[in-house]
Amino acid sequence: MNTPAFIPKPPPGKVRWIICTLLFSAVVLSYIDRLVLSVLKPTLQADYGWSESGYGDVVFWFQAFYGVGFLFFGRLIDRVGAKVGYLLAMSVWTAAHMAHALVTSTLGFAMVRIPLALGESGTYPAALAAAAEWFPKRERALAIGIFNAGANVGAVITPLIVPAITLAMGWQSAFLITGLFNLVWIGAWLTLYRRPREHPRLSQAERDYIEAEPFVDEGKTSFAAVLSTRQAWAYMAGRFLIDPVWWTFLFWLPDFFAKRYGVDLKGFGPPLIAIYILADVGSIFGGWLSSQMLARGIDANRARKTAMFVCALMVVPVSFAQMAPTIWVAVLLIGLACAGHQGFSSNHFSLPADSFPRFAQGTVVGLGGFAGAVGGMLMAKFAGYVLETTGSYTPIFIVAGSAYLVALLVVHLLNPRYAPVTTLNAEN
Higher pLDDT, 335 or 264: 335
- Tens of pLDDT, residues 135-172: 887 788 788 878 877 877 887 888 889 999 999 999 99
Beta carbons within 10 angstroms of residue 326's beta carbon: 9
Pair 3, 422: CB distance under 8 Å: no
Rounded to the nearest angstrom, the gap between the alpha carbon of residue 36 and the centroid of all alpha carbons in its chain is 16
**pTM, full prediction:** 0.74
Pair 321, 397: CB distance under 8 Å: yes
Domain 15-414 has CATH 1.20.1250.20: yes
Long-range interactions of 10-13: CB distance < 8 A, separation 24+ = 10/139, 10/209, 11/203, 11/205, 11/206, 11/208, 11/209, 12/203, 12/205, 12/206, 13/202, 13/203, 13/205, 13/206, 13/209
- Nearest of 321, 340, 318 to residue 257 by alpha carbon: 321
- Nearest of 121, 338, 123, 364 to residue 221 by alpha carbon: 364
Rounded to whole angstroms, the Cα distance separating 211 from 88 reads 27
Rounded to whole angstroms, the Cα distance separating 397 from 320 reads 7
- Nearest of 375, 407, 383 to residue 240 by alpha carbon: 375
- Tens of pLDDT, residues 5-39: 444 566 666 888 899 999 999 999 998 998 899 88
Rounded to whole angstroms, the Cα distance separating 413 from 407 reads 10
Query: What residue segments make up the domains of the chain, in order of their start?
Result: 15-414
Rounded to whole angstroms, the Cα distance separating 156 from 253 reads 13
Kindly give, in sequence order, each residue whose CB lies less than 8 Å from that of residue 361, ignoring residues fewer than 6 positions away.
Answer: 78, 128, 129, 132, 352, 353
- Tens of pLDDT, residues 94-116: 999 999 999 989 899 999 999 99
What is the pLDDT, as a whole number, of residue 219?
59
